[in-house]
């Protein structure tokens, strides 16, 4: 009888179950009311007195082994079932994902578009790989014109000249060719110039250029539009226009806003004057209208353009333009709270 108990203990220790049904059958076989364990305890009274101590110890070992095996397998099966259920439960919470944010250039571009869309400007886009006519000649920059030197260009092909656009004015040229006045359009996009990369300059940057053409458009209309923009974008209501030169506008001007001299940073970025240049503008040159088959005796218009990076650097006090292109997550994460 003692040898039988030891054999049963070995069977219990070696038992393995892959389903709850197998485990329940094992429990009933060994620990049920009519199970082996109860039968052995019933036989205890028939054991010789000199063997009862050893037989009782073996029974207790058998009982503990059976109970331990049942508890062990039950916990193992429940854990496996939990993991399987979690994987198949499509309603359970997903693993936490790190949310990204818009790039600061995209944020500022959208803000500019939003400001001008309130006064009727629509968005127009064009190719980044452009031909000579739309990028230069149609904009009153004929071949060998010295003003072309103002924009050091990446040429892709020659004869005919194919290049990376140096400004989004080329989009305006295409828009004027395909649309009749009145025209009120905004042209945001990426442009390219062969410039040395530094904290203030880059060979790739972004522009937003605006164009308005209609009858009786005056310089006063242009100034009022720019004043509206600076108030909405910067909260600044004081601007000045300095005479300048652009081949496609006449007269032309640089637009400055009064930034103020309240902090050390204000002194630094305005060079102690309080004034800060933000864009260029002017009345559309009649030659540009002629090249787009628009009658300059009937229509007039104004144009303006600004660098998005420059506006972003002013708004967020970013000291180095190269930070926009380094894809440093530590820099980009600072804009998560901005729409």
- Asked whether the beta carbons of 217 and 301 are under 8 A apart, the reply is yes
Q: Both tokens of residue 110?
A: 């959208």
Q: Both tokens of residue 276?
A: 């800060």
Long-range pairs, 231-237, Cβ under 8 A, ≥24: 232/115, 232/118, 233/111, 233/112, 233/115, 233/311, 234/314, 234/315
* Alpha-carbon distance values, 319 to 294, 311, 322, 323, 324 (Å): 43, 12, 9, 8, 11
What's the burial of 247, exposed, middle or buried (CB within 10 Å: 0-12/13-18/19+)?
buried
- Asked whether the beta carbons of 73 and 25 are under 8 A apart, the reply is no
Specify the 3-state DSSP secondary structure of 44: helix
Q: Nearest to residue 300, comparing CAs of 214, 210, 189, 202?
A: 214
Q: Both tokens of residue 330?
A: 């530590």
H helices of the chain, where? Answer: 2-14, 20-31, 36-43, 52-88, 104-117, 132-135, 169-178, 219-234, 264-269, 286-291, 308-316, 329-332
Q: Which residues are annotated as a binding site for Mg(2+)?
A: 250
Q: Which residues are annotated as a binding site?
A: 250
């Amino acid at each position: 009888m003692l040898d039988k108990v030891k054999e049963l203990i070995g069977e219990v220790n070696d038992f393995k179950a892959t389903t709850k049904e197998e485990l329940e059958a094992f429990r009933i076989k060994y620990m049920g009311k009519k199970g082996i364990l109860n039968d052995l305890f019933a036989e205890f009274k028939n054991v010789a007195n000199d063997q009862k101590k050893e037989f009782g110890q073996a029974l207790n070992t058998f009982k503990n082994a059976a109970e331990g095996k049942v508890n062990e397998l039950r916990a193992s099966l429940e854990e496996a079932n939990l993991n399987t259920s979690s994987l198949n439960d499509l309603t359970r919470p997903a693993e936490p994902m790190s949310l990204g944010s818009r790039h600061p250039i995209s944020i500022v571009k959208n803000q500019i578009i939003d400001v001008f869309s309130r006064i009727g400007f629509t968005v127009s886009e064009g190719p980044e790989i452009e031909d000579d006519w739309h990028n230069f000649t149609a904009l009153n920059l004929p071949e060998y014109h010295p003003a072309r030197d103002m924009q050091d260009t990446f040429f892709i092909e020659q004869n005919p000249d194919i290049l990376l656009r140096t400004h989004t004015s080329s989009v305006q040229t295409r828009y004027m060719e395909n649309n009749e006045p009145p025209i009120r359009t905004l042209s945001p996009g990426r442009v390219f110039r062969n410039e040395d990369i530094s904290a203030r300059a880059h060979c790739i940057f972004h522009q937003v250029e605006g164009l308005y053409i209609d009858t009786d458009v005056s310089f006063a209309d242009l100034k009022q539009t720019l004043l509206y923009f600076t108030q909405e974008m910067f909260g600044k209501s004081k601007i000045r226009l300095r005479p300048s030169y652009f081949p496609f506008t006449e007269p032309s001007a640089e637009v400055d806003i009064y930034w103020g001299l309240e902090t050390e940073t204000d002194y630094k970025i305005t060079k102690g004057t309080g004034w800060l240049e933000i864009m260029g503008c002017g009345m559309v040159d009649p030659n540009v209208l002629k090249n787009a088959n628009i009658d300059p005796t009937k229509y007039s218009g104004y144009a303006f353009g600004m660098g998005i990076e420059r506006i972003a650097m002013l708004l967020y006090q970013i000291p180095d333009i190269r930070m926009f292109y380094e894809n440093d997550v530590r820099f980009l994460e600072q804009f998560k709270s901005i729409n």
